[in-house]
């Protein structure tokens, strides 16, 4: 039987235990725009007492520089309006430019805006702002999450902001810019060991990803292979996966711990591996508990890999199939 992405998505389906992350984002989505901006401010500053993101490098800030410079020159009212436009995905010039940013440039843009808000260069949350019950509810829900889940909520809300540029024709695309690299602080681990796993494609995948060697990682996939990031649809084909990896997977530190491998009747294999991933934004201070679900074809190539955020640390030990 031919492998299909749809059937591959269902391997180890018990991994997809309902996560509090989409539930918290759904609560956030119900807030008014001003409440969303205020929530992010309080969640970010509260979180900053224990963990703070690393400052983005100059090369990355350069991509957001023109927008940041425009905002710096605005009056406080205009600055607030721009932030509202971006948060409400309005069709305005700045919200469009933001919509074209890569994920990490969006994060860098807000990082810098947050710094400018602290310095008083950009309009802060108005003094005397009264937190609405809705904001309090989402903040309470956020406090119950572990740090890895909290930064995922923060990241996903910021990524969803800005005008949706996906329907705009190619003539409106800005000139393609190269994604700046994150500098690794520790040398990559060259021989990966995962308890219970000897599958070369999987070990090779982790090794290549930990060295940001995306060409090597892609060469382990079938041409029609797919990668499904957390809470997203599968990304299919070498070119699309390579683009995604360059934009979103740089500098990640993947620490798979244990896994199981099952042989299927057609000669393919399904594997589930659990472990921890660190993002260069927070380094060793925040670990995200995740699972990789691989479907390897009879020729030893990756046909499918899904990455799932685990609902709780207990799920790290859940390697059952059903
Ligand atoms: C200024 C302020 C505070 C207030 C204002 O009102 C509004 C906003 C938005 C503000 C600013 C907010 C800021 C600065 C937020 C910054 C958030 C950051 C830096 C979050 C970063 C999160 C990173 C995460 C969650 C990374 C996760 C990566 C994972 C799980 C990677 C998984 C992968 C694996 C393991 C693979 O094998 C394949 C690739 C893939 C990437 C899927």
Read off the pLDDT of residues 116-168 as tens digits, 9 standing for 90 and up. 999 999 999 877 889 999 999 999 999 999 999 999 999 999 999 999 988 77
In Å, what is the CA distance from 258 to each residue of 33, 261, 264? 42, 10, 20
pLDDT of res. 322: 54
Task: Among 194, 221, 307, 309, say which to mutate for ligand 1: greatest number of ligand atoms within 8 Å of CB.
Answer: 307
Please give the Cα distance from 7 to 187 (Å, whole number).
Answer: 37
Residue of 41, 160, 225 with the most ligand 1 atoms within 8 Å of its CB, for mutation: 41
Contact 158, 59 (CB under 8 A): no
Q: What is the mean pLDDT of the chain?
A: 92
Ligand 1 atom nearest to CA at 157: 9
Residue 321 predicted with pLDDT over 70: no
Mutate to test the pocket of ligand 1, among 38, 64, 114 (most ligand atoms within 8 A of CB): 114
- Residue whose Cα lies nearest atom 41 of ligand 1: it is 249
Closest CA to 321 of 274, 281, 279, 272: 272
Count Cα atoms within 13 angstroms, Cβ side, for 51: 18
Q: So what's the pLDDT on residue 207?
A: 96
ipTM given for this complex: 0.98
For the residues 181-192, what does the mean pLDDT come to?
A: 77
For residue 40, what pLDDT band results from cuts at 50, 70 and 90?
A: very high
Nearest to 230 by CA among 13, 21, 12: 21
Atom 27 of ligand 1 has which residue's CA nearest to it? 279
- 309-321 average pLDDT score: 84
For the segment 201-216, what is each residue's pLDDT rounded down to a tens digit? 999 999 999 999 999 9
Residue nearest to atom 17 of ligand 1 (CA): 155
- Residue 53 alpha carbon, nearest atom of ligand 1: 19
Q: Closest ligand 1 atom, CA of 279? A: 26
The rounded Å distance from CA 222 to ligand 1 centre is: 29
Distance CA 152, CA 140 (A): 16
Q: From atom 11 of ligand 1, which residue's Cα is the shortest distance away?
A: 110
Q: What is the pLDDT of residues 44-81, one digit of tens each?
A: 999 989 999 999 989 989 989 999 999 999 999 999 99
C-alpha of residue 198 to centroid of ligand 1, in Å: 31
Ligand 1 environment, Cβ below 6 A: 37, 40-41, 44, 53, 107, 110-111, 113-114, 117, 151-152, 154-155, 158, 209, 229-230, 248-249, 252, 254, 277, 279, 281, 288, 290, 307
Mean pLDDT of 10-20: 82
Q: Assess contact for 27 and 141: CB atoms under 8 A.
A: yes
Please write the tens of the pLDDT for every residue from 232-277: 999 999 999 999 999 999 999 999 999 999 999 999 999 999 999 9
Please give the share of the chain, as a percent, with pLDDT higher than 90: 80
Give residue 152 CA to ligand 1 midpoint distance, Å: 6
Q: Which tokens sit at 309?
A: 């955020």
- Assess whether pLDDT exceeds 70 at residue 1: no
């Amino acid at each position: 039987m031919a492998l299909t992405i749809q059937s591959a998505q269902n391997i180890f389906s018990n991994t997809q235990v309902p996560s509090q992350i989409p539930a918290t984002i759904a609560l956030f989505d119900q807030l008014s725009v001003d409440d969303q901006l205020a929530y992010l401010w309080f969640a970010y500053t509260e979180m900053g007492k224990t963990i703070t993101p690393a400052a983005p490098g100059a090369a990355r800030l350069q991509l957001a520089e023109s927008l940041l410079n425009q905002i710096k020159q605005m009056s406080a009212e205009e600055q607030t309006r721009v932030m509202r436009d971006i948060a409400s995905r309005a069709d305005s010039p700045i919200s469009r430019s933001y919509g074209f940013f890569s994920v990490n440039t969006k994060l860098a843009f807000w990082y810098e805006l947050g710094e400018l808000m602290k310095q008083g260069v950009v309009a802060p949350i108005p003094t005397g702002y009264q937190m609405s019950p809705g904001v309090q509810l989402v903040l309470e829900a956020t406090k119950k999450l572990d740090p890895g889940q909290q930064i995922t909520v923060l990241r996903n809300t910021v990524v969803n902001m800005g005008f949706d540029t996906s329907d705009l024709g190619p003539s409106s695309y800005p000139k393609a810019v190269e994604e700046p690299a994150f500098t690794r602080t520790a040398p990559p681990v060259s021989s990966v060991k995962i308890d219970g796993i000897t599958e070369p494609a999987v070990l090779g995948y982790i090794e290549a990803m930990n060295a940001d060697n995306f060409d090597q990682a892609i060469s382990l996939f079938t041409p029609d292979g797919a990668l499904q990031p957390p809470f997203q649809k599968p990304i299919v084909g070498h070119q699309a996966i390579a683009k995604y990896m360059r934009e979103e997977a740089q500098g990640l530190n993947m620490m798979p711990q244990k896994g199981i491998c099952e042989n299927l009747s057609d000669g393919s294999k399904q594997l589930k591996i659990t472990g921890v991933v660190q993002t260069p934004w927070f380094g060793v201070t925040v670990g995200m508990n995740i699972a990789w679900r691989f479907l390897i074809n009879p020729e030893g190539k990756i046909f499918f890999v899904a990455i799932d955020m685990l609902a709780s640390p207990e799920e790290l030990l859940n390697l059952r199939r059903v």
